[in-house]
Amino acid sequence: MSALRLISRTKLYWGLIAIFLIGVLSSPVSSKGTNIFLSYGNLLDVLRQVSITGLIATGMTAVIITGGIDLSVGSLMAICSVVCAMLLTVPGGTPAAWMAVPAVGLVALFLGAAVVRFVFANLAKSRAGSGFHGVVRLDLLRGTVMPAVAGIVLCALSLWYLLPQVEAKFGVLGVLIAAPCVGLLFGALNGVIIVGGRLQPFIVTLAMMVTALGVARLTAGQNNAVLPVYTGSNATEEFEVLRSLAFGIVPMPGLFFLGAIIIYGAVLRLTPFGRYVYAIGGNEEAARLSGIAAGRVKIATYAVSGLLAGIAAVLYVAQYRQGKPDAGAGLELDAIAAVVIGGTSLMGGRGSLAGTLCGVLIFGLLSNILQLHNINSNLQLVLKGMIIVGTVLVQERNAGELFSHLRLTERGRRPPKRPRRGGRRRKPGLETSEETRMKRRDMLGLAALTAALIATSALSPTSALAQEKKWTIGFSQVTTIEPWRAQFNKDILAEAAKHPDVNLIITDGEDKTEKQVADVENLIRQQVDALLISPKESAGLTGVVQEAIEAKIPVFVLDRNVDTKDYTQFVGGDNKLIGRAAGEYAVELLGGKGKAKGNVVEIWGGMGTEPAHDRHDGFHEFTDKEPGIKYLLDKQSGDWKQDQAYNIMATALRNNEHIDLVYGHNDPMAYGAYLAAKDAGREKEMKFIGIDGLPNEGVQLVNKGELTATFVYATPGAEGLRQAIKYLNGEKVEKEVILPTKKITKENAAEVLKENGINP
C-alpha cells in the first residue's frame, strides 16, 4: 500500500494525533516542570468531560448511519436526569417512580420474551442446516408461550428488586436500571412514530425534544426546579461511586463511554443487525427488498439512542450532583458535530464508532488545549467552528479524492475520466469544474484547519511571562453576558491592575454548569495559587470546588454559594437581607404594615442558586404577614434573564386584570417585566422592584422612573481579589465578607449617579 493511500485510509486518526501533538508541544509547564497537558490528571479530565457527550454520540452514530437523526437526546437525558435524581433523593410514589417502575417492567417483559424467542429461532435455524436462509416458523410453545413466560418472570424479578427501593430511596444499581429504561422507551417511541407514520426523523425527534422537555419539567415540578443530590445526606453514599476513578485508573463515566463504544461497535461490525444498519442507510428500499426488517432495525437504533441518553443522565447526576430539565440543553448538537467530525456521513450508510470516538476526543482535546491557553472563550467558539468545518471538509470524500488524485498522477496516470454529456473529449490538462471545486474545497478545509490550529498554539497568554509573576490566580466566572457580570469582571480586572505580581486568569462558563466545571478542572490542572469562583449554581459546582480544596488550592466563593463550607472564604452580598429590604419596601408601597393590599408578581432568578432562594425568603418574611397581598404566580423562574422575564410577565398580564407590584430577583428581570407591561400599555398601573443597582443599569432605570426601586448588590470582584491576595501573602482572612447594600429610589438615584461620575 502506498504511503498516500495509507494516509488517506487512516486520515481519521491523523486529526486526533495532530491535535494531541499540538497539545503536547504547546502545553504550559507547571512550576515543577511537568507538561500540564500530558499530565495523567489532565488527560483523565478530558476523558471525563467528553464521556456524557460521547455516550450520546455513540447512540447517535447508528441512528445517523441508518440515514436518520435524533434531536431528542438532550431532552431525553434531561428527563432521565430528573427521574434519576428524584429516585435517589425522594422516597415514595413520586412522578419519577410512577414513570420508572412501569418502564422497567415493560422493558423487562419485552427483553425476556425477545431473548428467548431469539434463542429458539437460532436453534431452529441451525437445525435447518447452514444452507437455510428463509424465515423460521416457531410453534406455539416456543414462539409464544415460553417467551411470554420468560418475559413475565423477568418483569416480576425486576419489580421485586425495585419496589422496595421506591419505599426507601433508590440505590446506584436501581437508578442504573430505571433511568436507561425510561430513556429506552422514549427512544423506541421516536422509532415507532418514524417508522409507523413514515415521517421524517428530523421532525419526529424535534417534536420529541420539545415534548420531553415539558415532561422533564412536569416531573421535576415547581416549573424549572433543580433536584440537588448530595450523597450521604439526601442520596445513598454508594452513588458517589459513579464519580470516582474505577480501579483507581479510569473515571467511571469514561469507563461507561468506552464500554459503550466497544460493545455497540462490536454489534455494528460483527452482527447481522450491524450489517442491516449500514444496508438501510445505504439504500433502504433495497434493504427492505432483500428481506431486512428495516422498520424494526430503525426502531432499535432509536431505542438504543434513548437508552444511552438514560445512562448518560445517571452519570450526569453523579457528576454534577443534580438532575434538572435543562441538563442536556444543546447536547444533541455537540453529539452530531462529534459524529460528523468522526467521518460518519449525514446521508447515511457510512461511518463508524471508531470515528465517533476520534471525533469526541478531538473535540474534548481541543477545548482542553484552548482552555489551558486561557484563550478568550468567545474566540474559542470561533476557532471550534472553524475546526469543525475544516475537519469535515478534510474527512469527507473530498480529501480522499484529493489523495487519490495525487496518487494517480504520481504514477503518471490521470484519474479516470467521468463520461461527459455529449461525448465530447476533454482537452488533456484541463480539469472539470467539479474537480477544481473539490480541490478548492479541500484547500479551504485544510486552510481553515491550519489557521485555527496555528491560532490555537500561537495565542498563549499564560506562557513564560506569566510564570515570572508571583501569584497566578484563577477566576471562574459563570457568564459574561449579563450586565452585572460585565461589571464584576471590570471590577476584578481593575483590582488586578493594581497588583503587578498577580497573573489573573478569567474563564467564562458560558452560563453552563458543565462548561464551568471543566473550566475549574483546568484551573486546578494549571495549579493556580488561588481559585475564585462565582458559580452558576450550588449543587452543580460543589463537587469541583471540593476537588480544588482537596488539591490544596485556597478557594474563594463569590456571590452565589456552593453546598460546602470547606472553602477558604465567601465574599458577597447578604441576599436574605436584601430580600427583606425589598419585602419591607413592597409592603410600604402597597399601603403599609397591616394594611398592605395588592396583587404581586414575583419573578425568580435561577432556581438552583442560593441568591434566588434567599431573595425570595427574605421578601416573604415581610409580605407573608400581610393578608391583603396576593401572589399571582407559582414559582416562575426567568433564570436572571431579561427576555425570559418579559415572556413570563406578558403571560401574567394576559391572565390578570390587575397587577400592583412586580418583584424581579434582579434588575434585568424587573426591567423585562416593565417592558412587557409597557408594551401592554399597563406600566403605570404597577410598581417594579429589582436588585443589583448597577449605576449604569438599575440606578439609571430608577432615575428615569421605569423601575420604582433597586437594591445595590455590589459585585465582589475587587474585594474578592484583594482578600485572596491578602491570604496568599500570609495574612488571616475571615470566613465570610459580606458586602453592604443600599436602597435606591427616585429620591437618591440622581445623587448615586453623580457619585459614580454619570450625568443624570
Given a contact cutoff of 8 angstroms between Cβ atoms, the answer to whether 498 and 9 are in contact is: no
328 versus 605: smaller Cβ distance to ligand FRU: 605
CA 400 to CA 748: how far, in whole Å? 70
508 versus 559: smaller Cβ distance to ligand FRU: 559
The cell numbers describing 535, all together, are 458559580
CA 398 to CA 409: how far, in whole Å? 16
Min dist. Cβ of residue 209 to ligand FRU (A): 27
Q: Rounded to the nearest 10 degrees, what angle do helices 538-550 and 513-525 cross at?
A: 10
Min dist. Cβ of residue 333 to ligand FRU (A): 24
Min dist. Cβ of residue 497 to ligand FRU (A): 23
| Residues making up the chain, counted from first to last | 760
Please work out, in degrees rounded to the nearest 5, the angle formed at the alpha carbon of residue 640 by the alpha carbons of 638 and 645.
35
DSSP string, 171-218: -HHHHHHHHHHHHHHHHHHHHHHHHHTT--HHHHHHHHHHHHHHHHHH
Min dist. Cβ of residue 579 to ligand FRU (A): 12
- Residue 29 CB neighbour total at 10 angstroms: 13
482 versus 719: smaller Cβ distance to ligand FRU: 482
What stretch of H or E contains 745? strand 743-745
Min dist. Cβ of residue 226 to ligand FRU (A): 14
353 versus 702: smaller Cβ distance to ligand FRU: 702
Residue 388 amino acid letter: I
What stretch of H or E contains 112? helix 95-127
485 versus 613: smaller Cβ distance to ligand FRU: 485
374 versus 637: smaller Cβ distance to ligand FRU: 637
371 versus 644: smaller Cβ distance to ligand FRU: 644
Min dist. Cβ of residue 451 to ligand FRU (A): 34
CA 187 to CA 212: how far, in whole Å? 11
345 versus 647: smaller Cβ distance to ligand FRU: 647
The cell numbers describing 49, all together, are 468531560
Given a contact cutoff of 8 angstroms between Cβ atoms, the answer to whether 99 and 107 are in contact is: no
Min dist. Cβ of residue 331 to ligand FRU (A): 23
Min dist. Cβ of residue 666 to ligand FRU (A): 3
Min dist. Cβ of residue 750 to ligand FRU (A): 23
Min dist. Cβ of residue 510 to ligand FRU (A): 12
217 versus 641: smaller Cβ distance to ligand FRU: 641
- Residue 760 CB neighbour total at 10 angstroms: 12
Name the residue with cell 495559587: 529
Q: Which strands form 736-739's sheet, in the order they lie side by side?
A: 502-508, 471-477, 530-534, 555-558, 569-573, 736-739
What stretch of H or E contains 555? strand 555-558
Residue 232 CB contacts under 8 Å (≥ 6 apart), including other chains: 240
CA distances from 65 to 280, 535, 545 (A): 8, 39, 40
377 versus 666: smaller Cβ distance to ligand FRU: 666
DSSP string, 437-504: HHHHHHHHHHHHHHHHHHHHHH--TTSHHHHHSSEEEEEEES-SSSHHHHHHHHHHHHHHHT-TTEEE
Min dist. Cβ of residue 602 to ligand FRU (A): 15
Contacts with ligand FRU, residue ranges (CB under 6 A): 482, 484-485, 559-560, 605, 609, 611, 640, 666, 691-692, 713
334 versus 610: smaller Cβ distance to ligand FRU: 610
